Amino acid sequence: MSPEHLNEVASITLVGAGPCGCSFAADLASQGKSVMLYAHPEHRGALPMIEENGGYLDASGQVNGRFKIQTTSDMGVALKHSRFIVTTVPSYGQNSILQELHPFDLRNHILIVNVGNFFFLSARQATNAKAVLETNISPYATRIENGIVLVKGIKESLSIWAAPPTSRSNRPTLQEELTLKEQVESIFSPRLEWCQSLIQVGLTNINPVCHSPAVLMNTGWIESTKGDFYFYHQGMSPSVAKVSERLDEERLAIGRAYGFDLLSITGYMNQNYRAQYRNYRDFAQGSPIHNKTKGAPQSMKHRYLLEDIGHCIVPWYELGLKAGLSSPTIKAIIDLASIVSDFDYLSHRRALKAAGLSEASKEEISLVLGGTIEDDPRVLAPLSDNYANINGLKTGPPIKATQVAA
């Protein structure tokens, strides 16, 4: 990367001050980058912890040390810090972030959504960012304990996808695409695998395979102990692992239907943690990274259901139906989670309908979520002066006077 391109990513703004955001902040700061960590004024996460520590974040594990981190709950200040914005908020908080971003002109900003979970379905016309990218999974296995972010592990690779331009006139040149890729790659410690389809990225998020069956099949233990058990070693018994593997088989089948030969859950773990596990149960029992701390949810109102079901498994199910697959295990997980949560995930979820694809065929969906403007002019309508009201977002035209310069 040329020096001028390197200078552009000397500063990063992270949106979301949970464990992932803090691990990201520590990792980037350890590389000498200027990091600003933003959190919503009503959901400040670890910002008070950092501020009470004199503006320093303590980290241990794969990232070790004390790092100076700038903090803010003012989105304008956050956007001025860098043109590279990485969000780490759970998927169910992404609409709120879009609403906060909407008053600003982001035509000079790069928005990277980590983890995406089909973010594009809800937001393809809700922001005018220069580029929108989404990844399949968090780079880190992490927890915050006793005022320290514990980075238990860093993945070997992540899948990433860049949304197609909103019009032919916005299409970057080949050199601009290569420069953007180099810049984004400099932000992430894991190797980035660039995908041509949102479907591929969305189906390679293996979190729901790990989390959702284990949460639902350990409901009694979670509610009785408030999560006081080892989620992987103790919670993923042979029967629980069997359900996870069956769910994974259906995920792989959906991938094949759309032309993708995806890694199995065990293959993914072996690749990203340099291991040789025989099967998923073997991984759950033997992974030192995932068994360093107990890590079980303290209640059923947890992102392992709220995020993984509504923003990932439901889109998988819909994509499967378009391909003629009933996916009975996936459907059973959705139904059981709806009962436990007293929440209809199939009615209140990130879905094809939000992107105007409820009546689209499998082939049309593949085109929209993996094609380009040149493939079909119907892929994306140009942004109008008034942004679309996507998935309930109450949005209006960007406020030109508040344009943010990096």
| C-alpha of 189 from chain center | 16
Among the listed residues 345, 314, 159, the one whose alpha carbon sits nearest the alpha carbon of residue 251: 314
Q: What is the DSSP string of 310-359?
A: IIIIHHHHHHHHHTT---HHHHHHHHHHHHHHT--TTTSS--GGGGT-TT
The predicted pLDDT at position 376 comes to 40
pLDDT at 389 over 70: no
- Whether omega before 115 lies within 30 degrees of 0, making that bond cis, reads yes
Kindly state the average pLDDT of the residues 360-384: 60
pLDDT band for position 394 (50/70/90)?
A: very low
The predicted pLDDT at position 164 comes to 78
User: Tell me: the pLDDT tens digits for 162-175?
Assistant: 987 765 566 778 89
The predicted pLDDT at position 352 comes to 85
Higher pLDDT, 4 or 103: 103
The predicted pLDDT at position 50 comes to 97
Residues 348, 309: contact at Cβ < 8 Å? no
The predicted pLDDT at position 34 comes to 97
Long-range CB contact pairs, 363-370, < 8 A, 24+: 365/199, 365/319, 365/322, 366/197, 366/199, 366/258, 366/259, 369/120, 369/197, 369/198, 369/199, 370/196, 370/197, 370/198, 370/199, 370/200
User: Tell me: the pLDDT tens digits for 270-323?
Assistant: 988 888 999 999 999 999 988 988 889 999 999 999 999 999 999 999 999 999
The predicted pLDDT at position 379 comes to 39
Share of the chain above pLDDT 90, in %: 70
Summary mean pLDDT of the chain: 87
pLDDT at 364 over 80: yes
| C-alpha of 295 from chain center | 19
Share of the chain above pLDDT 70, in %: 87
Kindly state the average pLDDT of the residues 125-139: 88
Kindly state the average pLDDT of the residues 344-364: 85
The predicted pLDDT at position 151 comes to 96
First vs last C-alpha separation in the chain: 20
Q: Which residues pair with 141 in a beta bridge?
A: 153
Domains by residue range for the chain, with CATH? 9-196 (3.40.50.720), 204-355 (1.10.1040.10)
User: Tell me: the pLDDT tens digits for 75-118?
Assistant: 999 999 999 999 999 988 898 888 899 899 999 999 999 999 99
Residues 216, 210: contact at Cβ < 8 Å? no
pLDDT band for position 188 (50/70/90)?
A: very high
The predicted pLDDT at position 168 comes to 59
How many angstroms separate the CA atoms of 16 and 285, rounded? 31
pLDDT band for position 368 (50/70/90)?
A: confident
Higher pLDDT, 261 or 273: 261
